Amino acid sequence: MREEQKIRSFFLPVVILAAVAILVFTTSTRAQSSRNLTPLQFEIEKQQQRLSSSDEEERRDALMRLGAMHRAAASRIALPLLSDPSPAVRVAATKAILSLDSEESVAALLPLLNDKDEFVRREAAYALGLTRNRSATTALTDHLLNDKEAGVRGAAAVALGKIGDENAVIALASVLAPQLSAPAKSKRKAEANEFVLRAAAVALGQIKNRAGTPALIAALNNEKFPQDVRREAARSLGLIGDPAAIPALKSASTSEDPFLSELAFQALRKFSHESAP
């Protein structure tokens, strides 16, 4: 028994010293590794650790910080959070990944257009617009025309305007004037939401394709439309510069709505400037 106690008393300090040495070595290695990181890399690593938090707000805040870095390395860390259980976190991730190559961003964001949460679909549409990548056009036009939520349809219209793809003109025009482009037997209801109508009018002006002129003229002449929609139609007609819009703009320039008449007048001035020698 005494012999065993002697052995234990001999080996116990050795074991403790070995454990302390391992701990010191590990800590030193980690510290050395941290010292080798640039400040940006250190911050990315810090936020990456926060992404595994059980606290939804902490994960969301980490994503916002990663997005604010405007670095592809930070955006790549955020990618897995696009499938986070929390809608608020998924939304934060849509912006955090935008420093990736636009093709990669679009590929990552497109599935969220079918998210069950309206908030996520809407913000995914806005984020796709920020990529300025035409590969998102088809999916966005589908949601512009078919999503059941007006907020998502409006966001799709805004995104299409930012992308500026002429392939979206027909869909945007059909929102403003379905009678001009939709099939006679189409079962799709005419758009009634003011935000969606206004966003479609603005987007057509951003794209600046004359194929949108007839729908914008119809919107400008439609006295049942909200005034803001008619105003944006006048502004967009001026941006497009199609002479076919001149009669409608001249008529709108005498409108009792001072804002509409001013916008129509300014649009007409663009035509006169362009025709001046």
Q: Is the pLDDT of residue 248 over 50?
A: yes
Q: State the helix-helix crossing angle for 194-207 and 150-163, rounded to 10 degrees.
A: 10
Percent of the chain whose pLDDT exceeds 90: 79
Q: Which amino acid is at 113?
A: L
Helix (H, G, I), strand (E, B) or coil at 14: helix
Task: Please say whether the beta carbons of 168 and 136 come within 8 A.
Answer: no
Q: Which amino acid is at 5?
A: Q
The structural domains of the chain, with segments of one domain joined by +, span 56-163, 167-277
Average pLDDT of every residue of the chain:
89
Give the global pTM.
0.84
**Residue 35 backbone zone (phi > 0: left; psi -120 to 50: alpha; other: beta):** alpha
Percent of the chain whose pLDDT exceeds 70: 83
Task: Please say whether the beta carbons of 160 and 140 come within 8 A.
Answer: yes
Please state which of the ranges 36-45, 65-74, 205-214, 249-258 shows the lowest mean pLDDT.
36-45
**Cα–Cα distance, 199 to 53 (Å, whole number):** 38
Q: pLDDT (tens digit, 9 = 90+) per residue, 3-19? A: 555 545 544 454 454 55
Q: Is the pLDDT of residue 139 over 80?
A: yes
CATH of 56-163, one of 3.90.79.10, 1.25.10.10, 1.10.10.60, 1.10.1070.11: 1.25.10.10
Q: Is the pLDDT of residue 196 over 70?
A: yes
Within this chain, domains 56-163 and 167-277 share the same CATH topology: yes
Q: Is the pLDDT of residue 197 over 50?
A: yes
Its CATH architecture, for the domain 167-277, is: Alpha Horseshoe (1.25)
Task: Please say whether the beta carbons of 93 and 65 come within 8 A.
Answer: no
- Residue 107: count other Cβ atoms within 10 Å of its Cβ: 14
E strands present in the chain: none
